[in-house]
Amino acid sequence: MSNSGYVAISYWQLLFSVSLVVITGLISVFLKLGLLKNLVWGTARAFIQLTLIGYVLNYIFKLNWLPVIIAVLLLQCYIASREATHRINKAPYNPALASFFSLTASTFVVGIIVVALIISPHPWYSAQIMIPIFGMLLGNSMNAIALCLDRMYAEINSHVDQVEQLLCFGASPWEAVVQYAQKAVAAGMMPTINSLMVVGIVSLPGMMTGQILAGMDPVSAVRYQFVVQVMIAAAVAIGCLLIVGLSYKRMFNMDQALVDTMR
């Protein structure tokens, strides 16, 4: 155990943890799932990526320079926006830019409020606080936006006749798709709402668990985790609303009719 109170993991213990991957790989081989190659490659990538980011973060935390922190956060937003949209089917346009704007806006608005006004480190832009907080916001918002977009396009593609009928009766594009947009936002927010319902009873989230393992008093860890839960809910809600607002208009042409790719 280190002086800071957490239980350190040695290189031998880290190596031993790979046995868990071996067990999973044997199950894949036994059941002929065809996942062994991806499992081994994914494990290797995870180790390399996490090791590299550990050294990079160590340097950034010591530097603690605001322009560098913002550059890192924008890079994270860019990568998250690409990941959130590249599997979206039946999109009438490339939604990566709208996704980037939605993720960046929701993450920075909520993240700065939490870091500067609630946690209030000194200085307020402490890299050791900002990067992990913004990373949690981005990870959850990315998944929510992906679910939201996919659900909206799927709903409208499944109800093209109803949408066009409403347009023929004089409805605006928003009036024609609003019920499907509402379902999309609800779908994007559902995992976050479910998490709020069971946190502390069914699950002990990663941040809280990490702080407890590092020696923090559980009551203090709970306070941090509550802030994390509500900030994620806020960022997810803002991100889903923004992506819907930016995306639905692109499904219609200048004549306010559905574009051909939506039919």
Same domain, yes or no: 37 and 127: no
Residues of the chain with pLDDT under 50: 1-3
Rounded Cα gap, residues 193 and 186, in angstroms: 10
Per the structure block, which two tokens stand in for 6?
């957490």
DSSP state of 118: I
**Dihedral angle computed from the Cα positions of residues 25, 31, 33 and 38, in that order, rounded to the nearest 10 degrees:** 0
Q: Is the distance from CB of 117 to CB of 234 less than 8 angstroms?
A: no
Same domain, yes or no: 81 and 102: yes
Same domain, yes or no: 69 and 59: no
Per the structure block, which two tokens stand in for 181?
């947009």
Q: Is the pTM of this model over 0.85?
A: no
Please state the separation of Cα 43 from the chain's center in Å: 21
Same domain, yes or no: 123 and 234: yes
Same domain, yes or no: 186 and 99: yes
pLDDT value at position 2?
Answer: 45
Three-state DSSP class for 137? helix
pLDDT value at position 237?
Answer: 96
Per the structure block, which two tokens stand in for 48?
């390399």
Same domain, yes or no: 252 and 189: yes
pLDDT value at position 254?
Answer: 82
Same domain, yes or no: 92 and 19: no
pLDDT value at position 257?
Answer: 82
Same domain, yes or no: 57 and 70: no
Name the domain boundary from 35, 63, 91.
Answer: 63
Q: Closest Cα to residue 182, out of 155, 142, 146, 144?
A: 155
Per the structure block, which two tokens stand in for 260?
């051909």
Give percent helix, percent strand, percent coil of the chain, each to the nearest 5.
Answer: 80, 0, 20
pLDDT value at position 6?
Answer: 63
Number of domains present in the structure of the chain = 2
Rounded Cα gap, residues 106 and 122, in angstroms: 23
Rounded Cα gap, residues 7 and 1, in angstroms: 5
Rounded Cα gap, residues 199 and 23, in angstroms: 29
Same domain, yes or no: 197 and 187: yes
pLDDT value at position 230?
Answer: 93
Q: Closest Cα to residue 259, out of 184, 142, 157, 182?
A: 157
Per the structure block, which two tokens stand in for 124?
């307020």
Name the domain boundary from 31, 63, 95.
Answer: 63
Range of the domain at 201: 65-262
Same domain, yes or no: 92 and 56: no
Rounded Cα gap, residues 198 and 137, in angstroms: 19
Same domain, yes or no: 91 and 151: yes
Rounded Cα gap, residues 118 and 110, in angstroms: 11
Name the domain boundary from 11, 41, 63.
Answer: 63
Same domain, yes or no: 30 and 115: no
